[in-house]
Amino acid sequence: MTNCLVIIRNKKLNIDYGRLSSFIRVFSSGCYYFDKIAVVGFDSSKGISDQLKECRLCFDNSVVICNDEQFGMISDFLQKIYGENFDGRFFLTAGQSSVCLGKTGEGEDFAQRCVQFLNKKYGVSYDKFYVKCISAPAGLIRDAIEKATQGGGDTAFAVYDDFGDQTIEISYSSNTTKMVADGIRRTLVSELGDYIYALENISIERRLYDLLKLRRMKISVAESFTGGGISSRLVSVPGVSEVYFEGLNTYANGSKQARLGVDELTLKQFGAVSDRTAYEMAEGLLKAGNCDIAISTTGIAGPKSDNTAKPVGLAYIGVGTAEEIKVYKFNYKGDRESITRTAINDALFLAYKMLK
């Protein structure tokens, strides 16, 4: 099966690649992948005609997206090229070459309708399940998927990485037996167990909230270089007030001392970015007696280092309870945003692992 995506647009306007990625993701979730993605200027009649002719001759299925004002013209092109009446949405020729025409603003809703149309065309339906991980090595995920596919079945795998928060989406057709699908799930869990936080499509902050609620525990957070990002993620979960006590954004050394009781000698001897400081930040939250688990972060997000020789990307994340405080050292790569967002995901995951 060969598939083509054609985008007809004003060449002077940039494509919103974030929206395009979400659009394509709907198709990949349904096990339909594009062999070609073409962008054609709306003012080039010959370019449009040539591309649509290629769709008819070279691809089993084509998806064409255009603006409202181009819709009538593109529909006319398709009628001429495919040789039959085009119904304005879907058209299936005797030769089984299909085209789906949609408007730019329809986005993922249109993509879902296309997938439903293709499922009907091929007489197959797909279901899916998810494996959610944090910071699993790419090679380990690749090897786990390769091992899982040895069990057979009509399956497709898609991996999405959002600053270390990884979604493995497994789609399988109605031709795949439950035993095979369950075997794939077991293999992935066995290979990726240390990095997994959920077997459903939920966020790490929601998973941590569920666990805190189950254990009837409260959490507090003290952040330095993550700038309140951990707390922001937590409070995005409805009902989090049941488990969230407070979040402190203690950037300055004086704040760390006044709000958390970090020792002045610790800051002078080890520096704000150190395992000892991260430990004392978490310890300060726990000593206040209002939480059962604490998260602390301190690090250098960049773009420049601090006044020490410590590199950009160096970070310490503390996670602790009254029984134990652990501090983890990281050396992140990338720009300021990627460093902080990856650290936020790691911090939430470490708290989840401590309670699991």
Q: How far is CA 216 from the centre of its chain?
A: 29
Structure tokens at 134: 């944090």
In the chain, what are the domains?
3-122 (3.40.980.10), 126-198 (3.30.70.600), 204-355 (3.90.950.20)
The C-alpha R_g of the chain, in whole angstroms, comes to: 26
Indicate whether 192 pLDDT > 90.
yes
pLDDT at residue 20, as a whole number:
85
- Across the range 333-348, mean pLDDT stands at 97
Cα-based distances in Å from 6 to 3, 63, 65, 101, 322: 10, 6, 6, 10, 58
* Helix or strand run (H / E) with residue 278: helix 275-287
Q: What are phi and psi of 317, to 5 degrees?
A: -120, 125
* Helix or strand run (H / E) with residue 100: strand 98-103
**pLDDT, tens digit, 9 for 90 and up, residues 222-232:** 999 999 999 99
pLDDT at residue 89, as a whole number:
64
Indicate whether 12 pLDDT > 70.
no
- Assign 3-state DSSP to the chain and report helix, strand, coil percentages, each to 5: 45, 25, 30
pLDDT at residue 299, as a whole number:
97
**pLDDT, tens digit, 9 for 90 and up, residues 199-223:** 999 999 999 999 999 999 999 999 9
**pLDDT, tens digit, 9 for 90 and up, residues 120-179:** 888 887 888 999 999 999 999 999 999 998 877 778 888 999 999 999 999 888 888 888
Burial of 136 (0-12, 13-18, 19+ CB in 10 A): buried
C-alpha span between 152 and 176 (Å, rounded):
8
pLDDT at residue 264, as a whole number:
97
C-alpha span between 273 and 169 (Å, rounded):
37
- Across the range 108-126, mean pLDDT stands at 88
- Across the range 295-314, mean pLDDT stands at 89
pLDDT at residue 21, as a whole number:
85
pLDDT at residue 85, as a whole number:
62
pLDDT tier at 183 (50, 70, 90 boundaries)?
Answer: very high
Question: Are the CB atoms for 221 and 154 separated by under 8 Å?
Answer: no
**pLDDT, tens digit, 9 for 90 and up, residues 46-99:** 889 899 999 999 999 999 998 888 888 888 888 888 776 666 567 766 567 889
- Across the range 319-328, mean pLDDT stands at 97
**pLDDT, tens digit, 9 for 90 and up, residues 242-297:** 999 999 999 999 999 999 999 999 999 999 999 999 999 999 999 998 999 999 99
